[in-house]
Structure 1
Amino acid sequence: MLMQGLDAAIIDLDGTMVDTLGDFAQALGGMLADLELHAIDPSLIEHMVGKGSEHLLRSVLNHVLGQTGQAPDASKIEAMLPRAWERYQHHYLAINGRYSSVYPGVAQGLTALRGAGLRLACLTNKPASFALPLLRAKGLDGFFDHVFGGDAFERKKPDPLPLLKTCEALGTLPARTLMVGDSSNDARAARAAGCPVALVTYGYNHGRPVREVDADGYVDALSELVPMWVSAVRG
């Protein structure tokens, strides 16, 4: 039996299903060492993730180069990006999943969503070459009908295009497809696409409290999603 009013759910990856900050820190640390640059404080990375790898690398390089006390040269950063991406990809693929962990309640929540009759897709701004092995390593890949990375479409979240394309792949209407994420990126994309949205209260919302973000609901674990939605419908 379907959750009332829903046919499918689209689930974000980093900060929603898997805590990947350790992987980010390891890969970025290796990249910066290869570029002969200073390391970055791992606590700063949380504020930079969520908008795709290119944005992450630009943010990291901008911060590290800015530690000299001078304004970073944008043209210098752009010139460094190809080498930075190559080294980042090398290090990330080597350790993918080794320093990350699945959040409590994720497997139970995905099982409950499937049990409620919903089709599921994973939609992340992470490149597919990173996302697919991570889901396999954590035993989560079997829950999803589709997995789309940040390189699957012309634009990334918070643009609504990835959500609309994912709904097409699922064969569902946006209004009947729940977006589940951890940040304003997910919520903004969902609102623009016409999808209902629920946010987890942990994760990486760019250093801001997630309850400040406009959403239809908030959960402390994915296992709370089905009870929350059933309660809301009955209420």
Structure 2
Amino acid sequence: MVDTLDDFVAALNAMLADLALPPVGRGFVEHTVGKGSEHLIRCTLAETGGADDRQGEAWASYQRHYTRINGDHARLYPGVQEGLQRLREAGIPLACLTNKPTAFAQALLEKKQLSGFFRHVFGGDAFAQKKPHPLPLLETCKALGVAPSRVLMLGDSANDAQAARAAGCPVILVSYGYNHGQPVREVDADGFIDRLDHLVIG
């Protein structure tokens, strides 16, 4: 829904400056995001020569900087607002499930005026596992009160598709996902759309 890559780059490089480590490029971040903040920071430390025992220090710095800039460099993908509006008008209950920490996700949705579309917002810290494990999606289905087979997962990466397959949910991916640098259309999914408002309802 929201392209947050430049938020990640800004927060990570501010964190690295705090740790007196070299900055990372946009390409590195593009290929690394999607598996949760802990994974992102661990990979960033490895990329820049940071020691493993600096994970805690790095996490605290990253949290501080991301909270400060969350949404400042982000933009909605075309068709998102219109697509969510159509889904709401069709009476379809919506939940947002992301590997981003819940507080970051909620603040971002509010800043981009999307929070009102969702009945529930669950981040990567909401459950004991993160996507691609099926647990977060199964718990989201429970919260919606709908069987997994009747919940459509709209995602942008292999993480989403793998979680959906394991949970028993149909899955459609948007074509513009980062997907760790791999082509999204090569992922095992039930379909692909270029814009959220291209989703056929009914």
Q: TM-score range, shorter-chain basis?
A: over 0.9
Instruction: Give the superposition deviation at 1:204.
Output: 1.2
Q: Which residue of 2 aligns with 1:52?
A: 36
Is residue 138 of structure 2 the alignment partner of residue 164 of structure 1? yes
Unmatched segments (≥5 aa) in structure 1: 1-16, 66-71, 231-235
Q: How many residues are matched?
A: 202
Cα distance in 2 for partners of 1:177, 1:167 equals 7
- The 2-side partners of 1:22 and 1:203 are apart by 14
Name 1:183's counterpart in structure 2: 157
Report the structure number with the largest CA radius of gyration: 1
In the aligned structure 2, how far is the partner of 1:190 from the partner of 1:150?
16
**Is 1:152 paired with 2:114?**
no
Deviations 1:37-69 (A, max 9, x none): 00111221011000000000011111111xxxx
User: Are 1:63 and 2:47 counterparts?
Assistant: yes
Residue matched to 2:70:
96
| Distance (whole Å) between structure 1 residues aligned to residue 168 and residue 90 of structure 2 | 22
Q: Secondary structure of 1:223's partner?
A: helix
State the percentage of identical aligned residues: 61
1:138 aligns to what? 112
- Note the aligned Cα RMSD (angstroms): 1.0
The one-letter amino acid of 2:138's match is L
Matched, 1:41 2:25: yes
| Deviation beyond 4 Å, 4+ runs, structure 1 | none
Q: 2: CA distance between counterparts of 1:50 and 1:190? A: 15
TM-score normalised over the length of structure 2:
0.98
Deviations 1:114-171 (A, max 9, x none): 2222100000000011111100000000000000000000000000000000000000
- Bigger relative CO (Cα 8 Å, ≥ 6 apart): 1
Which of 67, 74, 80 matches 1:106? 80
